[in-house]
Structure 1
Amino acid sequence: MAETDAHRLRYLVNCSIMFTELPLLERPAAARDAGFDAVEFWWPWPEHPVPPEAEVDAFARSIEDAGVQLIGLNFFAGDLAGPDCGVLSIPARSAQFRDNIPVAIALGERLGVRAFNALYGNRIEGTDPPEQNAVGTDNLVLAAREAERIGATVLVEAVSGPKPYPLRTADDAVAVVRRVRAAGATNVGFLCDLFHLASNGDDLGAAIERHISDIAHVQIADAPGRGEPGSGALDLDRHLTDLAARGYAGWVGLEYKPTTAATVDSLGWLPRDRRGA
């Protein structure tokens, strides 16, 4: 990328989708060796809202031993590689989300996590959308109040793909954010994932302009394909420059699927001196 306002932004690696050529607990150190000071993860236990304490401790130690900061962590969201896309708005799975909240927050407190991504969940046949929205709002308020205790923010994002996920545009996601704020939880924000929004046909420039005050975190991948910047047709530099020029000074999570066998070989677009915080 050329010299632009995007240079003011800080970049981190999502180690659930990058460095997957390595075992999960080796990825934080690999990110550090590639020049990054910070990482984010999806919930590392897709089948377990409350995983064994020994596994949680081993995960935390992998972050601590690597000397990187865990900036972002997903709440339990089910099997993202399979049928799931979050559980918090699904009445029959609401208890899983609620059981996960104290575990995720305790892990976040230990590691200094500042943002928890709360994937909304798919629409379920036989359940009215207003009922799912009410359950979703209640659970997001509960999660936000717990996150507030450690100074963290809860994130809501739009997602692309074939699953019946109801939040497809920036307007969709921000409507949920504002509904949760109206219910009394102010530490909730919009996760602006440029890949998902572009894949859904959203107007990125308009979305950024309209919702800049709601954006609490940014993630990127090129589109189509979800590869590294330069592998598709999305003008990421322009949109990141726009974000920075409008005052966004937060993190940009690299949440792409490298087109190379080794993740490090996909990072040539981002000079090493721009990878650290």
Structure 2
Amino acid sequence: MTYTVNCSILLTELPLLERPAAAKAAGFDAVEFWWPFESNVPGDAELTAFERAITDAGVQLTGLNFNAGNMPGGDRGLVSWKGRCSEFKDNVDAVVGIGERLGTKAFNALYGNRQDDYTPAEQDELAVKNLVYAAQGVAKIGGTVLLEPVSGTPAYPLKTAADVLAVIAKTQEAGVDNVKLLADFYHLAVNGDDVPAVIENHAKDFGHIQIADDPGRGAPGTGTLPLGEWITRSRELGYAGPIGLEYKSAAADAFSWTIRQQAN
């Protein structure tokens, strides 16, 4: 099994730039990150430090989020956020540069919360334009834009696979084919989606899979979700990419479940 460690939610007891090496020491060859910078367009020194942390650790950066705004403050993306369009486009250029230098191909674009001052239709129209711009940008390096359902944020409008696929259809109508569903099994399950049906109907077209268990968004095996079965079936139906580990766990046993898995 090829796993990629999300170093923005795991290994948080360490400074961010030490986490790729810690993932490598734990036996993983791949990592992914939410947007790892405070600034929308980081300077050369910030970029160099981050990229060296990846390359010096000897891991592959398989995935990177576009800037999603102030995540601790409740923001969940800039894609549909009216008033920040130029900011999103500037960030696309920065993301493409990182991807080109590190060989990253998957880029997660969080859709953004609903805004009281605009209609959903107005935001959705902007979102399609921004997604097309991002897709065209990452296409230059063979990349894919990922779009995901999210739980726990009522103002975030994409909660099911169907919600995401409807947006993706609009981007396809606009002329791009590299916007894909990020199937986060935790978010889908918590939101009440029929995860087995999503897998049966769309696994071959998944852009990425991420996992966490429920309840608690903990490590696999700490809850009730049949994550192993879902992953196996997704593989059988054509998903060939890595599995993103995007769960919360205490530092002492963050990856102990993989040892139990190997023993079985």
**TM-score normalized by the length of structure 2:** 0.96
Q: 1:245, 1:269 → 2: CA distance? A: 23
- Which secondary structure state, in structure 2, belongs to the residue aligned with residue 269 of structure 1? helix
**Residue in 1 aligned with 2:47?**
56
**Residue in 2 aligned with 1:28?**
20
Q: CA deviation at 1:49?
A: 1.0
Say how many residue pairs are matched. 262
- Which secondary structure state, in structure 2, belongs to the residue aligned with residue 270 of structure 1? helix
Q: 1:15 aligns with which of 1, 7, 26?
A: 7
Amino acid paired to 2:31:
V
Q: 2:198, 2:130 → 1: CA distance? A: 26
- Residue identity (%): 55
Structure 1 residues 1-277: aligned runs within 5 Å? 9-45=1-37, 47-258=38-249, 260-262=250-252, 265-271=253-259
Q: 2:124, 2:9 → 1: CA distance? A: 29
Which has the bigger relative contact order, CA under 8 A and spacing at least 6? 1
Q: CA deviation at 1:52?
A: 2.0
- Which secondary structure state, in structure 2, belongs to the residue aligned with residue 91 of structure 1? coil
**Does the 8 A contact of 2:204 with 2:234 survive in 1?**
no
RMSD: 1.4
- Which secondary structure state, in structure 2, belongs to the residue aligned with residue 240 of structure 1? helix
**Does the 8 A contact of 1:174 with 1:214 survive in 2?**
no
Q: 2:139, 2:109 → 1: CA distance? A: 14
Q: 2:102, 2:149 → 1: CA distance? A: 26
Q: CA deviation at 1:112?
A: 0.5
Q: CA deviation at 1:226?
A: 0.4
* Deviant stretches of 4+, over 6 Å: none
Q: 1:163 and 1:96, CA in 2 relative to 1: closer, same or farther beyond 3 A?
A: farther
Amino acid paired to 2:184:
D
- Point out where structure 2 has 5 or more consecutive residues left out of the alignment: none
Q: 1:132, 1:205 → 2: CA distance? A: 31
Q: CA deviation at 1:21?
A: 0.6
**Residue in 2 aligned with 1:6?**
none
**Does the 8 A contact of 2:29 with 2:58 survive in 1?**
yes
Decide which moves more: 35-44 or 240-249.
240-249
- Point out where structure 1 has 5 or more consecutive residues left out of the alignment: 1-8
**TM-score normalized by the length of structure 1:** 0.91
Q: 2:173, 2:259 → 1: CA distance? A: 42
Amino acid paired to 2:91:
N
Q: 2:197, 2:168 → 1: CA distance? A: 18
Q: 2:248, 2:73 → 1: CA distance? A: 17
**Does the 8 A contact of 1:85 with 1:163 survive in 2?**
no
Deviations 1:237-265 (A, max 9, x none): 1111111111111110000001x233xx2
Q: 2:258, 2:176 → 1: CA distance? A: 36
Q: 1:261 and 1:34, CA in 2 relative to 1: closer, same or farther beyond 3 A?
A: closer
Deviations 1:37-83 (A, max 9, x none): 110000012x4211222111100110010010000000111122222
Q: 2:130, 2:106 → 1: CA distance? A: 16
Amino acid paired to 1:157:
E
Q: 2:175, 2:84 → 1: CA distance? A: 23
Q: CA deviation at 1:273?
A: 9.9
